[in-house]
Amino acid sequence: MEIEGQSIPVHHIGSKNKELLQNLAKEHGTPIFVINHEQIRDNYREFKERMPDVQVYYAVKANSNPEIIKTLYDLGCSFDVASMPEFMLVYENIKHLSEEEQLEWIYQNIIYANTIKPTETLEALDRYRPLVTFDNIEELKKIKKYSPQAGLVLRLRVPNTGSVVELSSKFGVEPGDAVDLIVEAFEMGLTVEGLSFHVGSQCTNFENYILALELSAEILTEFELRTGEKIKLLDIGGGFPVKYNPYVKSIRTLATQLNEEIERLFSPEIQIMAEPGRFLVANACSLVAKVIGKAFRDGKPCYYINDGVYHTYSGQVFDHCNYPVLSFKDGETQISAVFGPTCDAFDTITLSAELPELEIGDLVFSENIGAYSHASSTYFNGFPPAKVVHINK
């Protein structure tokens, strides 16, 4: 069944889980954002199994819920943070360690992967010394002044063709300028430890990864020839696609290609890291909301529910994602509109959901809504973000 160009997600929940979601809604009220920690663990394990030599840094921005961070921390995951508050969310898990152990853990397990950092952040980071990314000379000057002990990773601009969320217009040095910028950093007394890229989020065009790996290999070779020095880290970023629909190729196919290309292009000593965000959390969360109003407009049933695009469905705006609205009821369906609760017509979740006839008080749900959803929810119009409920913690 096609809904606004997307078919029903592959990670279909069974009737047992539907019952669970309904029971949780009864217990907690609505809207609820349900996080299944076992699914997060499965996703992490799958990633590690497919790419055993890659160190996994969870991109916290996909979903910064502290319990998700804790679950991944307990599995031995590392973290990609992009702001000081995100850094502190991860730090919370290691604050019981001695200062020396903390510094060691941070250096081994955190990358601050926002290439643009306020000077206050650089000052605050200096004592923790995580890896930090950069992509321009002005940033290098700031780092030199405010965070001179940082280990640096240069972000490359790479093709984002066909990725759902494009990042190359905002980040990354042109590949032709990369070696000069690395050399300049060393001349300033800074240490460049690695190279990174991001092929764009929800990358279903795997050629982006291959081209990015080839560019990286060329740059590392040129740097080595020019200086005799070696760069030992390669960060292949995020972008690992989620099977929102059956047409998305599996991570298995991508992993096989990545493993082969990495082996072909780089020396065995190179350390590879990745920053999956979406892949680890998207299919681990569901939303349950309630029908709070009902009308017929232009002959079409219209349902008003108590979550919308200013809230958990924000990913429809910021993440270019569609989350089919599903019913717990069976029965003949009609094309229906579903609106969020705010007084803005923009708060339209869909004009073409296939839904059976619903009554006020009925529950609806959406699956695969764990990434870039609750994280960008607002308090617009006085409606708070959906309550978070954890299962299988």
Ligand X SMILES: *Cc1c(COP(=O)(O)O)cnc(C)c1O
Those residues with Cβ within 8 angstroms of residue 252's Cβ, 6 or more apart along the chain or in another chain: 50
Segment near ligand X (CB under 6 A); pick from 214-222, 273-281, 299-307, 325-333: 273-281
Q: Is 62 a residue that touches ligand X (CB under 6 A)? A: yes
Q: Is 50 a residue that touches ligand X (CB under 6 A)? A: no
Segment near ligand X (CB under 6 A); pick from 28-36, 70-78, 238-246, 265-273: 238-246
Options 130, 159, 239, 301; binder of ligand X; rule CB under 6 A: 239
| Of 108, 65, 59, 62, the residue nearest 80 (C-alpha) | 59
Q: Is 113 a residue that touches ligand X (CB under 6 A)? A: yes
Q: Is 43 a residue that touches ligand X (CB under 6 A)? A: no
Q: Is 240 a residue that touches ligand X (CB under 6 A)? A: yes
Q: How far apart are CA 367 and CA 168, in angstroms?
A: 29
For 358-382, letters b (16+ CB in 10 Å) and e give beeebbbbbbbbbbbbbbbbeebee
Segment near ligand X (CB under 6 A); pick from 32-40, 237-245, 287-295, 327-335: 237-245
Active site residue 321: no
Exactly one of 77, 203, 321, 343 is catalytic; name it: 343
By CB under 6 A, the residues from 157 to 176 that bind ligand X are: none
Q: Is 139 a residue that touches ligand X (CB under 6 A)? A: no
Q: Is 9 a residue that touches ligand X (CB under 6 A)? A: no
Options 32, 59, 156, 231; binder of ligand X; rule CB under 6 A: 59
Q: Is 132 a residue that touches ligand X (CB under 6 A)? A: no
Closer residue to ligand X (CB): 199 or 386: 199
Q: How far apart are CA 304 and CA 308, in angstroms?
A: 9
Options 135, 139, 275, 354; binder of ligand X; rule CB under 6 A: 275
Q: Is 135 a residue that touches ligand X (CB under 6 A)? A: no
Contact, 127 vs 106, CB < 8 A? no
Q: Find tokens 């699914």 and name the residue.
A: 39
- Least Å distance, CB 165 to ligand X, is 7
Contact, 64 vs 375, CB < 8 A? yes
Q: Is 198 a residue that touches ligand X (CB under 6 A)? A: yes
Q: How far apart are CA 22 and CA 389, in angstroms?
A: 12
Q: Any idea of the CA torsion for 55, 61, 65, 69, to the nearest 10 degrees?
A: 10
The values of phi and psi at residue 241, to 5°, are: -80, 150
Q: Is 201 a residue that touches ligand X (CB under 6 A)? A: yes
- Least Å distance, CB 80 to ligand X, is 5
| Of 109, 106, 141, 140, the residue nearest 125 (C-alpha) | 106
| Cα-only R_g, the chain | 22
Q: Is 278 a residue that touches ligand X (CB under 6 A)? A: yes
Options 238, 315, 341, 370; binder of ligand X; rule CB under 6 A: 238
For 146-177, letters b (16+ CB in 10 Å) and e give bbeebbbbbbbbbbbeebbbebbeebbbebeb
Q: Is 290 a residue that touches ligand X (CB under 6 A)? A: no
How many binding residues for ligand X (CB under 6 A)?
A: 16
Q: Which residues are marked as active site? A: 343
Query: Which positions touch ligand X (CB under 6 A)?
Result: 59, 61-62, 80, 113, 198, 201, 237-240, 275-279
